[in-house]
Amino acid sequence: MATAASSSALEKSYELPDGQVITVGNERFRCPEALFQPSFLGRESSGIHECTYNSIMKCDVDIRKDLYGNVVLSGGTTMFPGIADRMQKELVNLAPST
């Protein structure tokens, strides 16, 4: 995130359907990061990885391993590059090792 906040090399231009060209900078990284750290938006809620973890932990201990192995991401925000890898990394950090 520090790199994204300071680097103009990460800017990307997009042409909209009406022909207008817009340039998007570090917002490309801050928007998906807010899914994992809602505090970026001033929210006092858990990130999607913590919500997933908490939901699985409320289930019977015998099925938790299967649930961790079958997390499915869907919707428009799953189009962000690397979001599946990030979700997996965050869940591995939270989940018990067994």
35 and 46 Cβ atoms separated by less than 8 Å: no
Domains of the chain in start order, with CATH, are: 1-45 (3.90.640.10), 46-98 (3.30.420.40)
Residue ranges in the chain modelled with pLDDT below 70: 1-8, 98
* For the chain, counts of helices (H) and of strands (E): 5, 2
3-29 confidence digits (pLDDT tens): 444 445 788 898 999 999 999 888 777
pTM beyond 0.75: the answer is no
